[in-house]
Amino acid sequence: MIKLDGLYVDKLDRENIKHLQFLKELMKSNNISYLWDLEKTKLELNKKEDSWIEEYLCFDNANNPIGYINLSPPTEGIKGRTTSLYYAISEQYRNLGLGSKMVAEIVDYLFTVQNIDCIVGEVEKENIASQKALEKAGMDIAYQDDEWIVYMKSKQKNNRKGI
């Protein structure tokens, strides 16, 4: 569990599987259900051993789920161990700075605890709030086209401990 200021992030596992319906609704409301399948996730969680952490739920202090983080399994890239970061915040929790806190903390956690060297995040060009969240976490634009912006942060630039 990663504690934040006013929230916490916890690994999606068999213990909090009851929150999968929240996740399904969150993905649908964000039009990103192509990244996630409820039944497949239930099956994966039931057979997962202690593998590298890939999915997290974010909760407020009242234990209400407010968001989701997905991390791709790390690969060896030109900047070392690299992972991709995907996330979503429930509509009623947007524009409160919670997405920025969640992203900044998970970035710090990946660098300091999981020994990741590089984190990549991509966002649709019209999603200004997500762009700001990635920038507040110290990520820089690495590439952009007409629809997407790809952000990147390397470990050697990790000198911030949150927002």
* 72-109 confidence digits (pLDDT tens): 888 888 788 999 998 888 888 888 888 888 888 888 88
pLDDT band at 128 (very low <50, low <70, confident <90, very high): very high
pTM above 0.95, yes or no: no
89 in Cβ contact with 102 (< 8 Å): yes
Strand partners, 70: 55, 86
**Higher confidence at residue 159 or residue 62?**
62
67 in Cβ contact with 93 (< 8 Å): yes
Token couple for 9? 């992030």
Give the closest residue to 162 by CA, choosing from 115, 114, 118, 98. Answer: 98
Distance in Å from the first CA to the final CA of the chain: 19
pLDDT class of 117 with cuts at 50, 70, 90:
very high
Per-residue pLDDT tens over the stretch 13-32: 666 666 666 666 666 665 54
pLDDT of 50 > 60? The answer is: no
**For the chain, which residues make up each domain, given as ranges?**
2-157
Region 2-157: CATH code: 3.40.630.30
